[in-house]
Structure 1
Amino acid sequence: MTRKPVHESRDNRQLIWEALKSASGPMTRTELQVASKVAASTVAAYLKALVAGGIVDKAEDQGRSTYRILRDTGFHAPRLKADGTPVKTGGAGLNLWRSMRMLKQFSARDLAAHSTTTEVDTTENHAKVYCSHLLAAGYLKVVQKAAPPKRAAIYRLIRDTGPVPPKTQRVHQVYDPNTGEVHFTGGAR
């Protein structure tokens, strides 16, 4: 089975989370499925994780279950395992992007330091690779060239398209879910 290109895929958790956040009151699973346009089994599994994680409350109302947010974690959908515990892998890209948006200028080492949390460990090498892809796609500008081994390159974010991080792909391109654009980066690695 082949993977769907990232620009054709959807983050179902985010769609469900946005539907929950935009609700004026508690919602049933069916209402969430319709609002998010996500499969019923996916909605059920994510709701189970959100309830287990203490982020969403499940209540019985006239023989049917309704759900409402107890703890709003912000724009990004909570990344949880089935048992409600936070997912600790794969958040580096999001943290790197957030750090880029907050810092005026940064090196890969700065980004790694600002992007590492108790849940996500971001390496300097990962930050370097992510920066090289975003530089090739036109998101970053080099403010100061590297002078190895004394000085690392210093970058500035010049294209802040929104809160969702651009995704690097194996086929040497960057997909920006904020704009829906795909930028080819050639052989950047």
Structure 2
Amino acid sequence: MQAGTKLSLTQELGSNLMNAGQPYQSPRQRVWTAIRKHREEFTIKQVAELGQMKYDSTRDFITGLKKAGIIAEVRREKLPNMSKKIELIYFKLVEDYGYNTPSVDRQGNILGKSATVNKAMWNTLRITKQPVNAIELAAISSTDELQVSIETADSYLRFLHHAGYLKIARVAHHAVRKAKYQLLPGMDTGPIPPQIQRAKQVFDPNTNTVMYSERPELEEEIKHGTLLLNDEEINDE
């Protein structure tokens, strides 16, 4: 297959993927959803197929979840007609992090606290309903246990404004003052904070809707997923 043809096909499939009726989910999110659905017992192959994620990428994700104590091995089953060393491993979910997939590396380190930070900022916007700038949002949302940076607050406000949640109550003035934003009436969609996803889009779990997409990136899908692969592309790998 020529590179140009493959790129064109990827772009076409990617466009359809991002414009589908259901909001786009990353390969890890799809596998995490499959794990939660089959929480009592699942295999790597099973959740890889259900989540449409490449087996090797799923195995690395499962390894990280196991080392982090989020899942645990429950039993092993010898595969028929195979060496004694080949066993099918079954896992179960032991710590459910909710809808959003935990961000873990292969060593089991849980990365960042973006979901908690977003929830703190979203709660501030919902409770105060007053115009705030990034400095004020960061200060109000921070606690002794959780520190929200001004940069994070600034990014969250800008994305929520692009997505139609906020209005600009006071425009920014160069480096002298930051813009103030206010939650629009009717845009308090629920207690779960809208997520700024890797594809540079805002997804609202309360309404199951992609509210804003800046630039659909397919790098993660191309690297780890199987949604963009047809038989010819699989054979080319």
Shared fold, TM over 0.5: yes
Judging by fraction of residues, say which structure has more helix.
Answer: 2
Instruction: Show the counterpart of 1:15.
Output: 30
Corresponding residue to 1:25 among 20, 40, 43? 40
Match of 2:230 in 1: none
Label 1:82 to 1:17 Cα distance change in 2 as closer, same or farther (>3 A): same
| 1:96–1:127 CA contact under 8 A, matched in 2 | no
> Relative to 1, partners in 2 of residues 1:34 and 1:124: Cα closer, same or farther, differing over 3 Å?
same
Which ranges of structure 2 fall in alignment gaps of 5 or more residues? 1-6, 19-23, 79-87, 215-237
Q: How does 1:1-189 map to 2 (within 5 A)?
A: 8=18, 10-23=25-38, 25-63=40-78, 64-88=88-112, 92=114, 94-95=115-116, 97-103=118-124, 104=126, 105=129, 106-113=132-139, 114=141, 122-142=148-168, 144-145=169-170, 153-156=180-183, 158=187, 160=189, 163-167=193-197, 175-177=201-203, 178-180=208-210, 182=212
Would you say how many aligned residue pairs link Structure 1 and Structure 2?
175
3-state SS in 2 of match to 1:62: strand
User: Could you tell me whether the CA contact under 8 Å between 1:58 and 1:68 is conserved in 2?
Assistant: yes
Q: Find the counterpart in structure 2 of residue 187 from structure 1.
A: none
Larger mean Cα displacement after TM superposition, 101-110 or 160-169: 160-169
- Normalised by the length of structure 1, the TM-score is 0.70
CA distance in 2 between partners of 1:45 and 1:181 (Å)? 31
Tell whether the 8 Å contact from 1:141 to 1:155 is kept in structure 2 after alignment: yes
Structure 1 residue 78 displacement after superposition: 0.9
> Higher mean Cα deviation, 67-76 or 47-56?
67-76
Which of 1 and 2 has greater Rg? 2
Instruction: Give yes or no for contact 1:49–1:84 (8 Å, CA) kept in 2.
Output: yes
CA distance in 2, matches of 1:152, 1:163: 21
SS in 2 for 1:134: helix
Task: Give, in angstroms, the shift of residue 151 of structure 1.
Answer: 8.9
Structure 1: unaligned runs, 5 residues or longer: 185-189
CA displacement 1:58-84 (0-9 Å, x = unmatched): 133332200111111222111111110
For the aligned residue pairs, the C-alpha RMSD in angstroms reads 3.8
Residues 132-164 of structure 1 deviation map (CA, whole Å, 9 limit, x = unaligned): 34324422134x536976897252262648655
Provide Cα deviations, 1:94-147, integer angstroms capped at 9, x if missing partner: 4454234322235423432426896x86421332243134324422134x5369
Find the aligned partners of 1:156 and 1:15 in 2 and give their Cα distance: 31
